[in-house]
Amino acid sequence: MTDQAKIEAIVKEVLAGMKGTHTCTCGKSAGKAAGGAIPKTSRVAMLTAKEHFEIQEYPIPEIGDDDILVKMEGCGVCGTDAHEFKRDPFELIPVVLGHEGPGEIVKIGKNVTKDSAGKPLGIGDKVVTCMIFKDNPDITMFDLNKQNVGGADVYGLLPDDDNHLNGWYADYIVVSKGSTVFNVSNLDLDSRILIEPAAVLIHAVERAKTTDILRFNSRVVVQGCGPIGLLCIAILKTMGILNITAVDGNEKRLEFAKKMGATATVNFMNHKGIEALAGAVKDSFGGYFADFAFQCTGSPVAHANIYKFIRNGGGLCELGFFINGGDATINPHFDLCAKEITLVGSWVYTLRDYATTFDFLARAKEIGLPLDQLITHKFHLADANEALQTNLRQDGLKIAIIP
């Protein structure tokens, strides 16, 4: 579809939604109803035991004046979901997982007119949710630069509740007061599915920039070429960074790293010992170590190794450990002090990063980065178990669940 056709389609949808409002003259309903029929029930993939989703069906509740009913159109499978699916580390079972979902607004309470960035919001708009601030529902993105997800809740990682529609692995989700929600109708579906993981990298790059070491002509190492590392490379590329070396042990992923903007790749399987590996990274930059490095794996050994790739006075952003992956052994003298490395840690994102992410995804598409190819598998909701098993086997890159 051309951009023009897309805009026309959106306008049509919005108009259809408005028509729905005007024909609804009962006056009793708190919300505006969509033109299309909304079923009485919604399926959810309920994780009822470790490695076991059960498809259950629940009534769609009344939508209050401050609530939104969203029809799921796709949702990525995250490493966090895989951990919860396999081991229940968050002790959430029974739970409806899925936090990387976009969807379409099908019903909206009369008090909801704008998204968390101040954009108008209505039926037919495509939205994503970010964090939920129950105690402070008036929070907007502009006074929230510093608060990351650690202080908030997220749909798809909530205990089961009375209406059960609080995760994206479902046909419908109820977005209630205090949630942050963004109108992302201008992005295509695959881009919308990638918003949440991409925001993690936008945040990491913002953290990296605080070191003042990351520059246009920096030599940058990205270690780990799963979805996170590949998105990191894509972001660096859209920023105009021209010397990016990707490090991974999987040749296929390294090939993809090049499509995302890596200028060189190093397969650690081909180099025995850290000296040889560091030498290969140095060679990839024409005889220089990296100015800056992003560590995107969950491996403590990879954390220890990455210091060896960085020049004196260089910088490092560690973002691979979303959850506890164990202790890493480094030599504080050689790795940190003597080299005067500036190290920043990064964890999830802020609301502001979400807004930046929308711009990044649009720009990445404009310059032809094949982000859509990151989504290698799509499974229907009914096959949620297979989707998660595929993620655990590390087949493919990003796995998505679709209705």
Within its chain, how far is the Cα of 344 from the centroid? 20
Q: Does 231 contact Zn ion by CB under 5 A?
A: no
Residues whose CB falls within 8 Å of the CB of residue 54, separated by 6 or more in sequence, listed in order:
45, 46, 48
Classify residue 114 by its DSSP letter. B
Q: Which is nearer to Zn ion, 78 or 236 (CB)?
A: 78
Query: DSSP code of 333?
Result: I
Closer to Zn ion by CB, 53 or 155: give it: 155
Considering only the stretches 3-11, 156-164, 190-198, 291-299, report the one whose residues sit in contact with Zn ion under the rule CB under 5 A: 190-198
Alpha-carbon gap, residue 307 to 281, rounded angstroms? 12
State the nearest-atom distance from the C-beta of 401 to Zn ion, in Å: 13
* Least CB distance to Zn ion at residue 361 (A): 15
Does 78 sit near Zn ion (CB under 5 A)?
Answer: yes
Surface-to-core class of residue 119, CB atoms within 10 Å of its CB (0-12 exposed, 13-18 middle, 19+ buried): middle
Judged by beta carbon, residue 125 or residue 196, the one nearer Zn ion is 196
Rule CB under 5 A: say whether 144 interacts with Zn ion: no
Q: Which amino acid is at 53?
A: F
Return the number of the residue (218 or 297) whose C-beta is nearest Zn ion.
297
Q: From edge to edge, which strands make up the β-sheet containing 342-345?
A: 264-267, 243-248, 219-223, 290-295, 310-318, 342-345
193 near Zn ion (CB under 5 A)? no
Question: For Zn ion, how many residues bind (rule: CB under 5 A)?
Answer: 2
Mapped onto helix, strand or coil, the DSSP state of residue 369 is: coil
Q: How far is the CB of 221 from Zn ion (least distance, A)?
A: 24
Classify residue 402 as exposed, middle or buried by CB count within 10 Å of its CB (0-12, 13-18, 19+).
middle
| Smallest separation (angstroms) from Zn ion to the CB of 163 | 23
With CB atoms as reference, the residue minimizing the distance to Zn ion is 78
CA pair distance 359, 59, nearest whole angstrom: 37
Question: Is 187 or 228 the residue whose CB approaches Zn ion more closely?
Answer: 228
Q: Please list every residue from 300 through 329 that binds Zn ion, using CB under 5 A.
A: none
User: How many angstroms separate the CA atoms of 257 and 246, rounded?
Assistant: 7
- The b-or-e profile of 379-400 (16+ CB within 10 A means b, else e) is bebebbbebbbbbbeeeebbbb
Q: Which is nearer to Zn ion, 66 or 196 (CB)?
A: 196
Cβ closer to Zn ion: 20 or 167?
167
> What's the closest the beta carbon of residue 99 comes to Zn ion, in angstroms?
6
Closest approach, Cβ 105 to Zn ion, in A, equals 22
- Binding status of residue 228 toward Zn ion by CB under 5 A: no
Stretch that binds Zn ion, among 28-36, 148-156, 196-204, 357-365 (CB under 5 A): 196-204
Please, which of residues 328-357 interact with Zn ion by CB under 5 A?
none
User: With respect to Zn ion, which residue has the nearer C-beta, 78 or 220?
Assistant: 78
Q: C-alpha angle 383/388/394, rounded to 5°?
A: 130
Interacting residues with Zn ion (CB under 5 A)? 78, 196
